[in-house]
Copies of this chain bind each other. A is one copy, B any other.
Amino acid sequence: MPGTTRKRSVKTGLPPGSLIHIGQRHAEKTKIQLCEYDESRFQERESHSLEGVRPLPDGTAVAWIHIDGLHEIPLLEQMGSVFGLHPLILEDILNTEQRPKSEDHGEYLYIVLRLFHEDAGGGLISEQVSIVLGPNWLISIQEKKGSLFDPVRERLRNEKGRLRKAGADYLAHALLDAIVDSYFVVLDKFGEKIETLEETLIDRPSPATLRAIQALKREIIFLRKSVWPLREMLGGLGRSDSPLIREPSVLYFRDVYDHAVQVIDTIETYRDMLSGMLDIYLSSISNRMNEVMKVLTVIATVFMPLTFLAGIYGMNFKYMPELEWRWGYFALWGIMMVIAVFMLIIFRRKKWL
């Protein structure tokens, strides 16, 4: 059941700032990827500890620390103390049921949002991504190992362009952009599923179709719950007066905001389409029932009078003159034919046949 906070209640009674990882525990060891770069230089290394990691002295160089996996709490605590993060932020990073938001803590910005992808079975799963943006450093923390940020890292490696020249705020924008872009992938899959469902709905609707519609609807609700606050958050960043987001980057944040609005538009369109499909489903059930009832009525209306007539001439009255007639039997067949044809003509006129 997506979108519920089933495990949230385990934290009840604990003081705020208690570092307990809420969410599925992932077995792999936490992996840390470190990049340091400025316009002329790019250095990267991979590690399993935070040893030697500290905020860079002021300057043009930018340090990007990316962490995969949340279960090694001491590591997070260490990071918190090195970068001077507030305990509530560490708690939020670990509590993977956060609503997308950004918090301005003066010396750094804390951004949390959700990433969606499909699991093997085609179901929608989500994970939490946290970004802490400092003056010339950026920490990104992902719940599970993923390749989402690889293109950004690739661009850092190769490109001499804007990404290497601009500061940590532009890097933050690049990561947010990558995440919002990943929503389009999910939505494209959605669109395909909806198209398939629509065809099924017209060809052969069944209770399974209804359940599929409902399941998609629920996933859309689940997605929507994340994207609306995301939009709000990105809008806030685009209007932000934090010195951490410098003037030239603001435009780029607004661009991501525009993309988020497009995501929402698409989501709302899908919602409307799914609602319309429910209407079609229900009315197609009614239509089918109508068809069934028409068949029953036609059969009954044709055969009941005929059976009645047959019953009449099956009676054993002593004096029933028709029975004695030479052509009585055949005449009756004729009458029956006339009745049946007459009925069928009436039904044809009523457009029941």
How far is B97's CA from A92's CA once the two chains are assembled, in angstroms? 34
* Number of copies of chain A assembled together: 5
| A326 interface residue (CB < 8 Å to B) | yes
Of B217, B293, B312, the contact of A276 (CB 8 Å cutoff): B217
- Judge if A12 is at the interface, Cβ distance under 8 Å: yes
Kindly provide the distance from the CB of A163 to the nearest chain B CB, expressed in whole angstroms: 7
Q: Which B residues lie within 8 Å of A13 (CB)?
A: 151, 178, 181
* Cβ-defined contact, A328 with B323, below 8 A: no
Q: Are B3 and A269 touching (Cβ within 8 A)?
A: yes
**Are A324 and B318 touching (Cβ within 8 A)?**
yes
Within the complex, the shortest CB–CB distance from A206 to chain B, in Å, comes to 9
A324 to chain B: closest CB distance in Å? 6
CB of A288 within 8 Å of the partner chain: yes
> Is A182 among interface residues, defined by CB-CB distance under 8 A?
yes
Say yes or no: A311 contacts B317, CB within 8 Å: no
State whether the Cβ of A53 lies closer than 8 Å to any Cβ in chain B: no
Within 8 Å CB of A4, what residues of B? 187, 191, 266, 269-270
How far, in Å, is A88 (CB) from chain B's closest CB?
Answer: 5
- In the complex, whether A45 has a CB less than 8 A from a CB of chain B is no
Check A120 for interface membership: any CB of B closer than 8 A: no
Check if A300 is an interface residue, CB within 8 A of chain B.
yes
Contact of A207 among B16, B255, B284 (CB under 8 A): B284
A-B interface, 6 closest residue pairs, ranked by CB to CB distance from nearest? A310-B311, A13-B151, A313-B315, A303-B304, A317-B329, A314-B314
